[in-house]
C-alpha cells in the first residue's frame, strides 16, 4: 500500500512591496517535488516586516491557526528569517506547531524536522533560546544594579501631590478615568495608579489623607 504524500503549506514573506516572492516559491516547489510532498496551502505576507508579531502578519496568523487544526503535515519556508527575527519567537512557534504534529522545512538552512537530524537540531534551538533568555535576564539585572549604583531612581515616575488631590476631587464628582486624564492632561495610567493607591507622590507616599479626597482615592 502506497503511503500518502505529506501535505505541505508554504509560508512566503517579503519585507517590501517591491520585492518578489517568485524565488522563494520556485525553490520550495522544487524541494517538495524532490521529496514527493504535495503542496496544499500557500500563505503569503507581502510587504510586511518579520519584526512584526503574529498579529501584524495576517497570513502567518492563519498559518498558525491552521497548523493547530492539522490542515497540513509540514510547514515549508525559504529561510528561517521569513518566519521571524527572534530566536525565542521562532522556538515558540516551532513548539506550538510541533505539539500539533506539524513538521518544519527550512530551505536555506537545510532543516527538515521530518528527519532525525532535523529533530535533533530543533532540540538544540531550544537550548540556545534558553541561553538567550538567560543572557537577557543577566543584562537587565546588571543594568538595574548599575543604575542603582549611580543613584538613578527606578520605578514609576512620582506624581505631584496637587495632581493627586485634583484626581481625587474629579473622581468624587463621578468623572471616568479617561475624562479625568483628558481634563488634567495626564495619562490614564497615572489616574489608575492614583485611584488604586499605587502611586508615589513627589513628597513621599500618599494615600489621600483622612478627608473626603482621601476617601475618594481609597474607595474610587
Residue that is written with C-alpha cell 502611586 in the block:
199
Around 102, how many Cα atoms within 13 Å sit in the side-chain half-sphere?
Answer: 24
d(CA 76, CA 29): 10
Which of the following is catalytic: 15, 79, 86, 95? 15
Cross-strand partners of 9? 41, 75
3-state secondary structure of 33: helix
Q: Are 106 and 79 in contact (CB under 8 A)?
A: yes
First to last CA, the chain: 72
**20 catalytic per annotation:** no
Nearest alpha carbon to residue 84 among 121, 56, 103 = 56
Q: Which residues contact 32 (CB under 8 A, 6 or more apart)?
A: 8, 38, 39, 76
- Sequence length of the chain is 220
d(CA 12, CA 5): 21
Q: Which residues are catalytic?
A: 15
Amino acid at each position: 500500500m502506497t503511503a500518502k504524500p505529506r501535505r505541505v503549506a508554504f509560508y512566503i514573506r517579503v519585507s517590501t512591496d517591491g520585492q518578489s516572492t517568485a524565488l522563494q516559491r520556485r525553490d520550495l516547489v522544487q524541494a517538495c517535488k524532490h521529496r514527493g510532498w504535495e503542496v496544499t496551502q500557500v500563505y503569503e505576507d507581502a510587504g510586511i516586516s518579520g519584526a512584526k508579531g503574529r498579529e501584524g502578519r495576517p497570513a502567518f496568523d492563519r498559518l498558525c491557526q491552521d497548523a493547530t487544526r492539522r490542515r497540513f503535515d509540514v510547514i515549508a519556508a525559504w529561510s528561517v528569517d521569513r518566519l521571524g527575527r527572534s530566536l525565542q519567537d521562532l522556538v515558540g512557534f516551532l513548539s506550538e506547531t510541533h505539539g500539533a504534529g506539524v513538521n518544519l522545512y527550512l530551505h536555506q538552512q537545510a532543516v527538515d524536522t521530518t528527519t532525525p537530524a532535523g529533530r535533533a537540531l530543533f532540540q538544540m534551538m531550544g537550548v540556545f533560546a534558553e541561553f538567550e533568555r538567560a543572557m537577557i535576564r543577566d543584562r537587565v539585572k546588571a543594568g538595574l544594579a548599575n543604575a542603582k549604583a549611580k543613584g538613578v531612581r527606578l520605578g514609576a515616575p512620582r506624581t505631584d501631590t496637587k495632581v493627586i488631590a485634583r484626581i481625587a476631587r474629579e473622581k468624587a464628582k463621578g468623572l471616568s478615568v479617561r475624562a479625568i486624564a483628558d481634563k488634567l492632561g495626564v495619562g490614564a495610567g497615572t489616574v489608575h495608579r492614583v485611584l488604586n493607591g499605587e502611586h508615589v507622590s513627589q513628597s513621599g507616599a500618599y494615600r489621600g489623607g483622612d478627608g473626603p479626597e482621601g476617601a475618594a482615592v481609597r474607595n474610587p
